[in-house]
Structure 1
Amino acid sequence: MLRKILLVQLFLFVGFCVMAQVPSPAQIKQVNVDNLSDDQIRRIVAEMKQNNLGMDDIDSYAEEKGIPSSEAEKLKSRIQMLGLDKTLDKKKSTEIFQQDNQYSGRSFNDSDTSKVDLFRQNVSPSDIKRRKIFGAELFTNKNLTFEPNLRIPTPSNYKLAADDQVMIDVYGYSEVQYKLTVTSEGYIRIPNLGPVYVNGLTMDEAKNRITKQLSTIYSTISSGKTFVQISLGDIRSIRVLLIGEIYQPGSYTLPSLATVANALYVSGGPDENGSFRNIQVIRNGQVITTFDLYDFIAKGDLANNIVLQDQDIVKVNPYKTRVELLGEVKRPAIFEAKDNETLQNILDYAGGYTDGSFKENITGYRINNKEREVINVPADQIASFKLKSGDQFFVDSILNRFSNRVTISGAVFHPGNYGLEPGMTLSDLIKKADGVREEASLNRGIIRRLQDDFTPAIISFNVQDVINGRANIPVKKEDSVIIFSKLDLRQQYSVLIGGEVNKPGSFPFADSMRLEDLVLLAGGLKDAASLKHVEVSRRIRKGEYNSKDSSRAIIRQFDISADLSSIVGEQVALEPFDEVVIRKSPAYSEQANISIEGEVVYPGQYTIVSKGEHISDLIKRSGGLRPEAFPEGAVLLRKTYISSADSALLNNKLELFYSKLEDSSSITSVKNMMERKYQLLGINLDDVVKKPGSKYDILLEEGDVLKIPKKLQTVQMFGEIYFPKKIRYDNGYAFRDYIRGAGGYTASALKRRSYVVYANGEVKSTRKIFFFNKYPKVKPGAEVYVPSKKDRKGLTGGEAIGLASGLASIALIIVTILNKL
């Protein structure tokens, strides 16, 4: 029986442990992104990708999961730090691309001409080829609309039809205005007169007929005392059919003043196989005109751009001949040619040659019945050369070289390129460059020359002999002459000064330069400069080599006068590359300031009197503590000073430390801590005040800030507790009482690692005594922290519940079997 009880208790204990791994609702809501590992962040991003969520959806995702907005911002930062934001943005951009592609292939109707722009946004290979065709930019340029101008005077040959609005203005002895619409039968009805048939009449014909009819009721019209003016108001719409090789063929509703060009633009223009030069307008079964777009593009001629009428058909025929002209022409493109046109016409359409083109020959590529052929078209045959569809012509550029160039550079007054003249010598070239400069090196110059086999050669010469006429050296095409400068042939001399001068740095060396001159060039001495022990270090530039001599430099020290009038003891002439150091006076001391804030009688900034000034001395100088001061919470903030050498060493150590950290959140927190300008220095002000000069009474340093708060009456709770908040301090409360006041530990709380941060910056952690935790004492203004357990790889909540149920079932079966036994 005892064995049965033990077995049942074992399985119940296992089931309870597994169930304990399932997070409670309170744990889920208390999300702290800083405590999440990188793997957990990656799992969150994977879940967002499955739900088609991007970076812009993080706020809504966090709200759905019950995550506070402040933690959502941290989540964004963690995702960006791990470089996972690009994957989310890529997901969203793919979605947008798929949505945009839903418009591809949609046709346009008469009432939705705005879809033309959507259609043009989807670029296909045929669109790319079409854009290369000369004239296609008329239909792809958004700045060109070819909308009909409805505000111009009505053309006299405009024919009235149904739905046109006729405006009649009678003025003179009689004044009246009419706005009449042409009926479907072709009449306008004039009040007090009756219907007048105007269908098919031009504006001039309609004016004559209407005036004749109105004269029957206005007798003064015939006598010339009353006048009649006829104009067109609102115009009708017409239906036009566009067929053939056109981008969007179909039936279109257009204003009655629309022309052929208007209709072509609305339909997208000719497609990749459509002709730009053979566009027919068919009316009543007859071709009434053929429109050539090249007349408009090349000459600005719109003579055949007639006004369309209802039921007109615009037919774009396939092209017959197209050739491509590339290279050094002003408008390279694919051009359509008529039967009688030559290569010269195509060249004219392309705007002619560019300035750098080779005009003597045009290279062509032609497709024959079986293979391709290369054609050379000389300049004198371009005007008569016949074209064949598919021809490609290329205009080459001139060679990038000069036929008579020579170059001179270096120490001459006017270096550059010069034209080679017959019989020109090196002396002539130097004279063209206005001679050599004063600093020129006259011993040697060089000529860089290409030999007959195009290998480079160097020819040296004596510059002085060439100038004096003792050497007569001819120059050749593409020769490059170099006259060297003495200043370029030696290292630039300089001297260096550092230390207590106003403008330390490097200065050009000059002959007879003295130490006092260099100090003046450096802006004079600083207030802290010492007049003694001015050190000059000098390079060892001369002498014989001695292996036993280990000297690296020559060091000399001098004392200078305050007015820089002389050097005490001797005159010091500087040499090239000397380095001078003016040191700080050992008796010089600048003021060092500190601050005291909070509950003292006279808070503010104070100057340190001596190097041995302590915290207790500062308290006395500030008038002492106020009655409401809380000494136990006093803190001292001290600036962190890191030299460049220490900084390099520290950075190397930090890189090793960062490589050992596994999580990006830990690296971020460490970096933030290292970037602080102030560090908290824990002090015990009670002991300082009671025992001045003791070990607790530390020395003050420049920039120190002493903060003394008022009496604190709360305790702040953080970490793995159910309700982190501030709790009123009670002297009778222990550590666990404050935990219970915040709702108790969560399931993931690491109790044995809890710690308390006191108001003065002191930290005390939980200690282990035998099997029990000894928690630190809680004081006013303290902060209690309960850390969380590390993530462990194991079962999920659902798997844990399933495993617990299975174990419980097995336990029940075993108990049943034992009972039968």
Structure 2
Amino acid sequence: MNIFNQSLKLLSSIAIASLTLIAAFNLNAAEQMSLSQLESAGTSQSQLPNAALESGTFSKQGRSGTLLPGEMSAAELLPSSEVGLPPPYGANLFAGGYESERLDGLNDDYTIAPGDKVSIWLWGAINQSEVVTVDNQGNLFITNVGPVYVADVKASQLNSYVSNKIKEVYKKSVEIYVNLLTATPVSVYISGSVIRPGQYAGIASDSILYYLKRAGGIDSERGSYRSIKVLRNNKVIQNIDLYDFILTGYLPKFNFKDNDVILVERQKATVVVSGSVRAPFRFEFLENQATGSQLAKFALPLAKVSHVGVVGDRADGPFSVYLPYNEFKSFELKDGDRLIFNDDIRAQVIDIQIDGSYLGPSYFAVNKNTRLHDLLAHIQIDKNLADYQSIYIQRKSVAKKQKEMIDQSLERLERSVFTAPASSDGEAKIRAEEGKMILEFTERARKIVPLGKVIIADQGQVANIRLEQGDVIHIPAKTDLIHIGGEVLMPQALVYNAEATIDDYIAWAGGYSERANYEQIMVIHPNGMIDLDAYGTLKPGDQILVLPKVDTKFLQSVKDITQIIYQIAIAANVAT
């Protein structure tokens, strides 16, 4: 009874876990929306799911990098509607560690402040050297000269300014050199929507980015990257828009003083951008609304963009609209809008590649309705070199379908092996060994890349099929060789002999290998057609492929494996 109860609990746990997985899968599927659904939305008033306007997945940035014990992540703190949004435009400004690579503050624009140390040398009629500290009144007290007021003098002008003052006392025969040695640290307060507000020490000439980085950067969910103020004595002395720095590199230069306050204001109206743009971020407006053209300056849509989908809320409720890009430029965007930039105009021209034996260009741009014969009329060949009656096409869609069919067959094979019941311990061991061999086979088989051949020529007749984007038209070269591969001892190419049979060519290639299946020999013709008749007529350019034999003594799924081997041989012209 205890064993029965334990088994029942185990089955219940498995069922609950399975239901959880199924629920999670259904949820993910429900959150996804295809582009065609967005296109069909048009100007309907139904609100689209958030996932419809997100391109890919965005890693959510925490508000303070490494979480402390017991601290919640940003994704946990935010409302569910905010989770999964892309980072704000400019968030990577605070990703580096440049706050630890600061300068010493002695740049040309630095202004002298109380506490700075200045070195003064005089030589000639009098020899004198001393290091003087700027006092609280902004003066340097120089021996035999007296106080010299230097507060707010730029470092680049300090030498000439002090020298002129000294020359008022020593009018001739004295040379003077003045140099700023050290700059006095200042204490700056950082407030508003930053990660770690508080008081920070730095140099007066340090940039505002340095101080913001010291405070952990701007809070990406609450803080504004466009409205940052510097206050001195409760008055605004500088307004900073970091978008100007990101776009043009412009950052206003000024010197901080003790007790200055950096105030990062609340985030203004924002919109989320995804799709065919170079900058898929969350963008902030200076006002409560902006036009599409103003947003495009930051988002940088790709040249192929033709339409823009907008989802949001207005006074009369949720709405969605799908606009041509030209109309979107004058469209008024509001806070919370979500945008997807889309290339929704189908290409009228397709690219076709020519391969094999031909003359002239290898790429052609043709109308999407072009058929094969129309293009062949413009391809030059040398009839003595090109086997133009054996043309075939390599098509990506066909290769993809072949790959899908092989993968499906491999999955069925794995299921049949790993779910087969075992009636005894001995049979279970055999199944385990068979499973290892099947896994090795399927692993190798999945690496096969199908060619996607489309057979269009037979007995000198070439089908006039419609071309597709990315087609490769292969014109085989005339050859006098026969290629032998697969399960032979010495795969190689041999000169065509009209009187030789398949057995002769295999004998000339060293004969069959130990794994060869004598009854599974394929002949692949230059036009891509495959002949399973081992005694068929050979022609120059044919490929003889000897397939491997599946050992029936150990493997139960011989039929399935044989079918997969045939699929691979046909799709990729190789033996696995």
User: TM-score, normalised on structure 2?
Assistant: 0.53
Identity %: 21
- 8 A Cα contact 1:366 1:374, kept in partner: yes
Whole-angstrom CA distance in 2 between matches of 1:338 and 1:353: 21
Secondary structure in structure 1 of the residue aligned to 2:376: helix
- Residue matched to 1:276: 225
Paired residues of 2:355 and 2:362 also in contact (CA < 8 A): yes
Name the Cα RMSD after superposition: 5.4
Aligned residue type for 2:342? D
Distance 1:407 1:200 in 2: 70
- SS of the residue 2:327 aligns to: helix
Q: Are positions 1:232 and 2:232 aligned together?
A: no
1:222 corresponds, among 142, 155, 171, to 171
Match among 86, 91, 108 for residue 136 of structure 1: 91
The structural deviation recorded for 1:279 is 0.5
Any idea what the Cα deviations from partners look like across 1:133-160, whole Å, max 9, x if unmatched?
A: 1111011133x449553365443x7142
Question: Does 1:314 find its partner at 2:266?
Answer: no
Residues of 2 paired with 1:179 and 1:190: CA distance? 9
1:180 aligns to 2:132 (yes or no): yes
**Residues 491 and 398 of structure 1: is their aligned pair in 2 closer, same or farther, counting only changes over 3 Å?**
farther
Q: Which residue number in structure 2 is paired with residue 358 of structure 1?
A: 305
Cα displacement string for residues 741-768 of structure 1 (whole angstroms, at most 9, x for unaligned residues): xxxxxxxxxxxxxxxxxxxxxxxxxxxx
Pair 1:412–1:308, CA change in 2 (3 A): same
User: Taking structure 1 as reference, are residues 166 and 347 closer, same or farther at Cα in structure 2, changes over 3 Å only?
Assistant: same
Of the structure 1 ranges 165-174 and 196-205, higher mean CA displacement relative to structure 2 is found in 196-205
Contact 2:269 2:284 in 1 (8 A): yes
Give, in angstroms, the shift of residue 322 of structure 1.
1.1
Give the 3 Å change call, closer, same or farther, for CA 388–495 of structure 1 in structure 2. closer
Equivalent-residue separation in structure 2 for 1:145 and 1:103 (angstroms): 25
**1:168 matched to 2:123:** no
Name 1:375's counterpart in structure 2: 321
What residue number does 2:429 align with?
none
Q: In the aligned structure 2, how far is the partner of 1:495 from the partner of 1:277?
A: 67
In the alignment, the residues of structure 2 paired with residue 281 and residue 497 of structure 1 have an alpha-carbon distance, to the nearest angstrom, of 81
How many pairs align? 386
Match of 1:258 in 2: 206
Partner of 2:142: 190
**2:230–2:261: 8 Å Cα contact kept in structure 1?**
yes
8 Å CA contact 2:370, 2:467 repeated in 1: no
CA contact (8 A) 1:424 1:474 kept: no
Question: Structure 1: how far apart are the matches of 2:285 and 2:140?
Answer: 49
SS at 2:171 equivalent: helix
Identify which of 290, 295, 299 aligns with 2:239.
290
Unaligned 5+ residue runs, structure 2?
1-65, 398-453, 511-517, 522-542, 547-551, 556-576
Q: Deviations over 1:546-604 (max 9, x none)?
A: xxxxxxxxxxxxxxxxxxxxxxxxxxxxxx99x9xxxxxxxxxxxxxxxxxxxxxxxxx
The CA distance in 1 between the partners of 2:85 and 2:253, in whole Å, is 23
CA contact (8 A) 1:325 1:394 kept: yes
Q: How far apart in 2 are the matches of 1:334 and 1:497? A: 62
1:417 CA displacement: 6.7
Q: 1:209 to 1:358 in 2, by over 3 A?
A: closer
Amino acid at match of 1:298: L
Give 2:248's aligned residue: 299
Q: 1:432 to 1:439 in 2, by over 3 A?
A: closer
Whether 2:359 is the aligned partner of 1:386: answer no
In 2: Cα distance, 1:169 partner to 1:103 partner: 57
Q: Is the alpha carbon distance of 1:204 and 1:257 closer, same or farther for their aligned partners in structure 2, counting shifts above 3 Å?
A: closer
Secondary structure in structure 1 of the residue aligned to 2:94: helix
CA distance, structure 2, for counterparts of residue 495 and residue 447 of structure 1: 22
- The answer as to whether partners of 2:106 and 2:155 remain within 8 angstroms in 1 is no
Instruction: State the 1:325 CA deviation.
Output: 1.5
Give the match for residue 410 of structure 2: none
2:387 pairs with 1:434: no
> Does the CA contact (< 8 Å) of 1:154 and 1:231 recur in 2?
no
> Structure 1 pair 200/475, CA: closer, same or farther in 2 (3 Å)?
closer
8 Å CA contact 1:321–1:388 kept in 2: the answer is yes
CA deviations over 1:23-64 (Å, ceiling 9, x no partner): xxxxxxxxxxxxxxxxxxxxxxxxxxxxxxxxxxxxxxxxxx
CA drift of 1:226 comes to 2.0
CA contact (8 A) 1:170 1:177 kept: yes
CA distance in 1, matches of 2:187, 2:369: 80
TM-score, scaled relative to structure 1: 0.39
Equivalence map 1:646-725=2 (5 Å): none
CA–CA distance in structure 2, aligned partners of residues 208 and 166 of structure 1: 13
The answer (yes or no) to whether the contact 2:483–2:493 under 8 Å persists in 1 is: no
Deviations 1:317-349 (A, max 9, x none): 112211122111111111111228532222111
C-alpha separation in 2, matches of 1:250 and 1:444: 75
In 1, Cα distance between equivalents of 2:384 and 2:154: 87
Deviations 1:408-439 (A, max 9, x none): 88997899774447998765533433357768
Q: Could you say which structure has the greater relative contact order, defined with CA pairs below 8 angstroms and 6 or more residues apart?
A: 2
The one-character-per-residue Cα deviations of 1:163-206 (angstroms, maximum 9, x if unpaired) are 21122232444343221123446554434555555556666997
Cα distance change on mapping 1:230 and 1:126 into 2, 3 Å: farther
Match of 1:568 in 2: none
The within-5 A match list for 1:756-795 is: none
1:265: how far off? 1.7
- Would you say the 8 A contact 2:194–2:216 is kept in 1? yes
Partner of 1:158: 111
Which residue does 2:524 correspond to in 1?
none
* Structure 2 contact 118–131 (Cα < 8 Å) conserved: yes
The one-character-per-residue Cα deviations of 1:712-758 (angstroms, maximum 9, x if unpaired) are xxxxxxxxxxxxxxxxxxxxxxxxxxxxxxxxxxxxxxxxxxxxxxx
**Within the alignment, does 1:349 sit opposite 2:298 as a pair?**
yes
Distance 1:318 1:364, change over 3 A: same
Q: Work out whether residues 364 and 394 of structure 1, in 8 Å CA contact, stay in contact via their aligned partners in 2.
A: yes
* Residues 670-726 of structure 1, C-alpha deviations (whole Å, 9 max, x = no match): xxxxxxxxxxxxxxxxxxxxxxxxxxxxxxxxxxxxxxxxxxxxxxxxxxxxxxxxx
Larger radius of gyration: 1
Q: Look up the equivalent residue of 1:333 and give its one-letter code.
A: F
Q: In the alignment, is residue 396 of structure 1 matched against residue 396 of structure 2?
A: no
How big is the shift at 1:260? 2.1
Contact 1:321 1:338 in 2 (8 A): yes
Where 2:243 maps in the other structure, the secondary structure is: helix
SS at match of 1:263: helix
User: Secondary structure, in 3 states, of the residue corresponding to 1:265?
Assistant: helix
Q: State whether residues 160 and 202 of structure 1, in contact with CA within 8 Å, keep that contact through their aligned partners in structure 2.
A: no
Deviation at 1:293, TM superposition (A): 0.6
Distance in 2 (alpha carbons) for counterparts of 1:300 and 1:209: 32
Indicate conservation of the 8 Å contact 1:166/1:232, yes or no.
yes
- CA deviation after TM superposition for structure 1 residue 104, in Å: 7.3
Q: Counterpart of 2:217 in 1: which secondary structure? A: coil
State the shift of 1:214 in Å: 4.0
Tell me how far apart the structure 2 counterparts of residues 248 and 392 of structure 1 sit (CA, whole Å): 30
Aligned to 1:599: none
Aligned to 1:555: none
